[in-house]
Structure formats: structure tokens, C-alpha cells
Structure 1
Amino acid sequence: MKLSGNTVFITGATSGIGRGLAEALHRLGNQVIISGRRKHLLDEVTAANPGMQGIELDITSPDSIASVASWLKTNHPTLNVLINNAGLMPFDDPASAIDDAVTLNILTTNLLGPIRMTSALIEHLKAQPSATIIHNTSVVSFMPLAGNAVYSAGKAALHSYTQTQRFALRDTSVEVIEIAPPWVDTDLIHKSGDPRAMPLDAYIEDTIRQLGAGAQEIIVDGIRALRDNPGTGEYKLIAEFNQMLVDNPIPVD
């Protein structure tokens, strides 16, 4: 992926990894448009980054997605990079009944949101000389968390979708990239300063470096062994990993 001269649209970019990527790409000389549900946060980020633009988007709403896609194509006809970053990560317990509203909200946001947003812009992106779609999945695509079972399943599904979409677009001008973050110290669950979490600045720096190097799958070194885990012994490692989190839980206020 070229790192400058793009017109970039990022969903869920008012905090955490989304904001970090938006600001890094803005500094590199791209026109960046961010989105989120809360206008005051969009205004806060764009005020801190003159030249950046913001637009309200409810990623769970097909109508909102269609409206924003239409606005982007009209007002930013050179749009050539879509970063599907919006997501939420509530806890659940697959050993108990899970509230159906919680399940639907997670999957509508984290899986259907990226699919719908991409679908709304795909023909526009294919018409660009060079375009990029980036899906933000997670290390839990490969190492699911028992305390976030639906979130993990949704991210695994988005990983699968990314792989097939990359193949389907292989003869077009559109490249498809997956970023699979480790545990990064953001407010997705709780920003705690836990030493097991990768600092946000370090994650963004490494991700931008790998994007510039042409990687199709952005995996930081700390989780490469987890990415390479699939095999008949997979469950043993998953069980050990989850037991470690049971014994040393993530602090949450």
C-alpha cells in the first residue's frame, strides 16, 4: 500500500486504533475522513488534526451506511482506501445463555458492518487506478477468548471473509489487507496500562511500517506464534491461553 496521496475513509476512528491510524495517515499526507456515532468526538479529533474531516455513521444501520457511502462518492470522488475498523467487544459466557440482543449487536457491528460498508463502496473502489480495503480483525481470530466468545467468532468470520475477498479481487486494482491486532492498550475494553498490552503508539508505528512494506496480513511479532498455531493440537493451546487469562484476568473497572 502506498502511504501518501490517498483519500482514506476510516470507520470507528474517534479513539483507539482507528484514531491512531487516522492521525498517522493524516501526518503522512493523505486526505483522511473519519466516522463514528458521536459528533462531539468527531469534532474533537478533526479539530486536533486540521484538514481531517468527519462524518457521523451508525455502522449497524444499512441506511446510514448507504447515506455515508453516497456522500463519500459525491464529495470525495478520489476515495481509494477503506479501513473497516469500527467494533465493540462486550463480555459474554458461552457456558450460559447469551442475551440475543448482545449477540446481534456484536455481529451486526463487527461482521455485517464491514461487509455492508465494503459492499456500498466496492464498485467505486474498483474504478480507482489503485485502491485498498483494510479489515481490522484480531488475534482472537486465531486464538479465541472464552470470555468474548461471540466477538472472537465474529472476528474469525471476518478473517475468513477477508481471505475470500482478496482472492475475488485478485485481478482488479483493489488490494485487500487484514490487520490483526494483539491486545493493544486502548479503551476497547479498558485502558489499564497492563504490561501485557502493546502500547498504542508502538502498534500504530509497526502497522504503518508493514503497510508500507506491502504486507497483506499485518501481524506484529508478539503474536506471530499464535497466528501460526492451526493444527490438530489447536485446542490445547487455546485452553492453556484461556486458563492463563482466568488465572491472571484482565483488569476491568
Structure 2
Amino acid sequence: MRIPGSTILIAGGTSGIGLALALRLREAGATVVVAGRRRDRLDAIRDEHGIDGLVVDVTDPTSIATLAADAVAAHPDLDALVTMSGIMELERIGEPGALDVAERTIATNLLGTIRLVEAFLAHLRTRPAATILTVTSGLAYVPLAATPTYSATKAGVHAYTEALREQLRETSVQVVEIAPPLTRTRLRGEGTDNDHALPLEDFVAEVVDILQTQPDAPQVLVERVRRQRFAAADGTYDEVFAAQSGR
């Protein structure tokens, strides 16, 4: 991916990693558009940062189709899509509410990603060089027992991304996976002061540095996530899984 001069849509770009990445990519020379569910939040980002925003609910196929049409109409030179939208909720399998959590998580994290790609792919294939960036997690490689469906959806997005990259291998569309480690955001409503988490600004700075220095890389792996990413290959999977489970 070549950042300067690119026009990038970040679905799920109104907070956390998405917004921080939007600001960093703009600093690196890209035109950035963010999308999210809340019009008031999009308006606040426009007023504070001068970044355009579009409304989308990634669990609603009609909303995604409208987003794609509006984004391409407003930005015909759009050449990159980041599928950042995601939710992460604690879940106790077999207990009341667990199935609702699972279904919401699949609809947002996995189906949302697939629907976004389907909605934007035809346009991206018309561009001389385009990029789809999916967002997985270190938990795609070693799951967290407390968030089984979140971990499963991120593993699913990883598999989908690998297959998508192969199907688009002979096209102008590059496919990149970003796999964050535990990062200081409000994803699970725990605040941003977790000492075990990577500071948000450190994460996005490392991500953009990798995109700039390794423009053809299929994965963006910051140093902190590599232990999870390669746990199975390194023979440390059981150790990492147990540590994540608190034992």
C-alpha cells in the first residue's frame, strides 16, 4: 500500500484504533473518510479534525450498500477500504445472554467485514492500485477463553482475508491484514489504563511505519503481537493460551 495520495475509507473509524489510524494516515499524506453508526460522533470528528464522515451500520446490508454508493459518489478516487468495525463482549457459553452476544459479534465482526468487501470490491477493482485492509487480532491465533466468539470471528476474518488475497492475486487490489495485540482502547469498556496493553498511539505509529516501509507486506504485525501470531509455529501455543486464560 502506498499511503501518500490514497483516499481511504475506514469503516469503524469514529473511535479507538479506527480514529487514531485515520489521523495518523492523514498525517502520512492520505485523504481519509470515516464511517460509523452515530451521526453526532461523525459531526464532532468533522468539526474537530476536518475529516469527512458517513453513516453506516455494518450489521445492516442496506446500510452498507448505501455507504458504498455514497462514498464512491463523493470520492470517486477512493482506493482503499479498512474494515475496522468490531465489538468484543465477555461471554459465558451456556449462560443467559451468551447466544445473543455470539450472534451480535458474528454479525458485526465477520459478516460486517464480508459485506463491506462485497460492497466496495467492484469499485476498487477499477482503480489502478487499491487496497483492502481487514482487521483481525492476536486472538485470531490464540483465543481468549473469556471472549470465545470474538476470537472465533477474528480467526474467521483471518481465513477470509487469506482466501480473498489469493482470489485477487492477479488484480490491482492488494489485501492486507492488520492484527492488533491487546491495545489501550475502550473495546471492552475497560478504559484505556490497562498496563498490559500497548498504548494506542504506539500501536498506530508502528502500523503506519510498517505500511510505509513494507508496502507489499500481506500482514501488518507489530512487535507486541508476534508472540500470539507465531505461537503455534513456535510450540508455545499452550503456554500463551494458558497465560491468556489466567492460569
| Bin of the TM-score, shorter chain as denominator length | over 0.9
Unaligned runs of 5+ in 1: 247-253
2:118 corresponding residue in structure 1: 119
Output one character per residue of 1:67-116: Cα deviation in whole Å (capped at 9) or x when no partner: 11111122211110000000010110236465322211100100000100
Q: CA RMSD in A?
A: 1.7
Task: Give the equivalent residue in structure 2 for 1:194.
Answer: 194
From the superposition, tell whether residues 98 and 144 of structure 1 become closer, same or farther in structure 2 (CA, over 3 Å). Answer: farther
SS in 1 for 2:33: strand
Answer whether contact 1:8 1:83 (CA < 8 A) is retained.
Answer: yes
* TM-score, normalisation: structure 1: 0.91
Alignment of 1:1-253 (within 5 A): 1-50=1-50, 52-94=51-93, 96=95, 99-189=98-188, 190-212=190-212, 213-214=214-215, 215-230=217-232, 236-244=238-246
Deviation above 4 Å: which 4+ runs of structure 1?
95-98, 231-235
Give TM-score scaled by structure 2 length.
0.94
Q: Secondary structure at the match of 2:58?
A: coil
Contact 2:13–2:19, Cα closer than 8 Å, also in 1: yes
CA distance in 2, matches of 1:149, 1:78: 39
Amino acid of the residue matched to residue 105 of structure 1?
R
In structure 2, the CA distance between the partners of 1:16 and 1:232, relative to structure 1 (3 Å rule), is: closer
Of 121-130 and 209-218, more deviation after overlay is shown by 209-218
Task: Give per-residue Cα distances to partners, 1:11-50, cap 9 Å, x unaligned.
Answer: 1111100001111112222221101111111111121222
Q: Any conservation in 2 of the 1:80–1:128 contact (CA below 8 Å)?
A: yes
Is the deviation greater in 93-102 or in 53-62? Answer: 93-102
Deviates more, 1:117-126 or 1:221-230: 221-230
Q: For 1:8, what is the secondary structure of its paired residue?
A: strand
Structure 1 window deviating more from structure 2 (139-148 vs 217-226): it is: 217-226
One-letter amino acid matched to 1:210: I
Q: 1:4 touches 1:28 (CA, 8 Å); kept in 2? A: yes
SS in 1 for 2:81: strand
8 Å Cα contact 1:165-1:176 kept in structure 2? yes
Deviation at 1:241, TM superposition (A): 2.0
Distance 1:28 1:46 in 2: 18
CA deviation digits over 1:42-72, x for unaligned, max 9?
111121222x200110010000001111111
Q: Percent identity?
A: 35
Q: Once the two structures are superposed, what CA deviation does each residue of 1:197-235 show, in whole Å capped at 9, x if it has no partner?
A: 000000000000111122221111122122112259566
Please tell me whether the aligned partners of residues 228 and 240 of structure 2 are also in contact (alpha carbons under 8 angstroms): no
CA contact (8 A) 1:36 1:55 kept: yes
The separation in 1 between residues aligned to 2:125 and 2:192, in whole angstroms, is: 41
Taking a change above 3 Å as real, the CA distance of residues 97 and 235 of structure 1, as seen in their structure-2 partners, is farther
- Provide the C-alpha distance between the structure 2 equivalents of 1:156 and 1:164, rounded to a whole number of angstroms: 13
